[in-house]
Amino acid sequence: MTRGLPAGRIGPTEGAVDLPPDDTGEAIGLSASGLTITFGFGPALFRDARGRDRFGIADRQPEALRTLPHFPADVLDPERSYGDLCVQACADDPQVAVHAIRNLARIGFGTVAVRWSQLGFGRTSTTSTSQSTPRNLFGFKDGTANVKAEETSDVAQHVWVADGDDAKAAWLAGGSYLVARRFNMNIEIWDRQSLGDQEDFIGRTKASGAPLSGGTEFTEPDFSMPGSDGPVIPRDAHVRVVHPDFNDGVRMLRRGYNFVDGSDPLGGLNAGLFFIAFMRNPDTQFIPVQNRMAKVDALMEYVKVTGSALFAVPPGIGAGEYVGQALFA
């Protein structure tokens, strides 16, 4: 499918008329659209809720791979959280991504079942210096200070699991951890806030994305610059709360997406940010930052977290290999 070929060997229209096709057909005529598929393993793949070894691999469970804690202000929907396996499909055409997920679920029928899924659009973080910074549904540029692919030393330090990081999980070296969090945005309440308040909550200007301390989008914020009533970038501004200077220097590779899932029972948009981030160690990167954000970030008044999951993503595969081979062999 990543080469633009059907999911099965026969194809969506070439098989016997009295048998189901081995490809569902909605991608007929479409290109591969840059499709990538990422797989991850959840903590429940190793041990069930009672701690029992499910498949004889519990002794290889990474130390950091466990159910994420319930953070302050979490309102988690169990039907949109957790899971044994993660399958993420990304493509320039959403129909190609849906086709991939649909066909993998179809092929796995009887062995696996879809626990939950989320369709996202319009990435909310830039991951390369060649990209312009996208905007989230609050209308602000998102991911200005994200780890960029060109920052190879930072990628190695903050994203990829290294040899020796975890003696029990040598199979994960060269892979990463994936955190998924579903942030529902209180769109209608946000839209009634003044422009000045919105910018104070974020710590950046809405037009250019520059920090409130001045400069351009990529100017480093000056958190000590005084304003008329405290720092010009408020102490509870999002950009300050999550900045590496206040979080022991940690960074993450964010690859989130916007989502709109129709309307809620009150007539508001069921919409928000499907936060996805890759990191070397969630214990030292995501969890401390999320705890800090949940407690003091001004943005938390306008969002609620309704879904949460953590997965270990094995390294990519070569010719003749299968996903997770170093774990299962």
Strands 226-227 vs 230-231: parallel, antiparallel or unpaired: antiparallel
Is 37 domain-assigned?
no
Is the four-CA dihedral 117, 313, 103, 329 of positive or negative sign? negative
37 residue type, one letter: I
pLDDT digits (tens, 9 = 90+) for 249-273: 999 999 999 999 999 888 899 999 9
Is 273 domain-assigned?
yes
Residue 238 phi, psi (nearest 5): -55, -45
Is 36 domain-assigned?
no
d(CA 88, CA 39): 6
User: Whole-prediction pTM value?
Assistant: 0.96
Q: Which pLDDT score, from 0 to 100, does residue 266 have?
A: 86
Q: Which pLDDT score, from 0 to 100, does residue 76 have?
A: 97
- Find the largest Cα–Cα distance for the chain: 76
3-state class of 303 per DSSP?
strand
- Domain extent for 298: 63-81+116-316
Q: How many CB atoms are closer than 10 A to CB 104? A: 17
d(CA 245, CA 68): 24
Domain count, the chain: 1
**Residue 322, C-beta contacts closer than 8 angstroms, at least 6 positions apart:** none
d(CA 203, CA 240): 7
Residue-wise DSSP of 98-138 = HHHHHHHHHHTBTTB--------EEESS--STTSPPPB-TT
Q: Which pLDDT score, from 0 to 100, does residue 255 have?
A: 95
Q: Which pLDDT score, from 0 to 100, does residue 136 have?
A: 97
Q: Which pLDDT score, from 0 to 100, does residue 73 have?
A: 83
Is 269 domain-assigned?
yes
Inter-residue contact 26 to 95 (CB < 8 Å): yes
Is 272 domain-assigned?
yes
Is 301 domain-assigned?
yes
Is 32 domain-assigned?
no
Structure tokens at 172: 């994960």
Is 261 domain-assigned?
yes
What percent of the chain stands above pLDDT 90?
96
Strands (E), 1-135: 36-41, 85-90, 121-123
The strand pairing partners of 89, in sequence order, are: 37
Inter-residue contact 76 to 306 (CB < 8 Å): yes
Q: pLDDT by residue for the chain (329 residues), tens digit each?
A: 999 999 999 999 999 999 999 999 999 999 999 999 999 999 999 999 999 999 999 999 999 999 999 998 899 999 999 999 999 999 999 999 999 999 999 999 999 999 999 999 998 998 999 999 999 999 999 999 999 999 999 999 999 999 999 999 999 999 999 999 999 999 999 999 999 999 999 999 999 999 999 999 999 999 999 998 899 999 999 999 999 999 999 999 999 999 999 998 888 999 999 999 999 999 999 999 999 999 999 999 999 999 999 999 999 999 999 999 999 99
pLDDT digits (tens, 9 = 90+) for 129-158: 999 999 999 999 999 999 999 999 999 999
**Residue 194, C-beta contacts closer than 8 angstroms, at least 6 positions apart:** none
3-state class of 70 per DSSP?
coil
Q: Which pLDDT score, from 0 to 100, does residue 25 have?
A: 97
What percent of the chain stands above pLDDT 70?
100
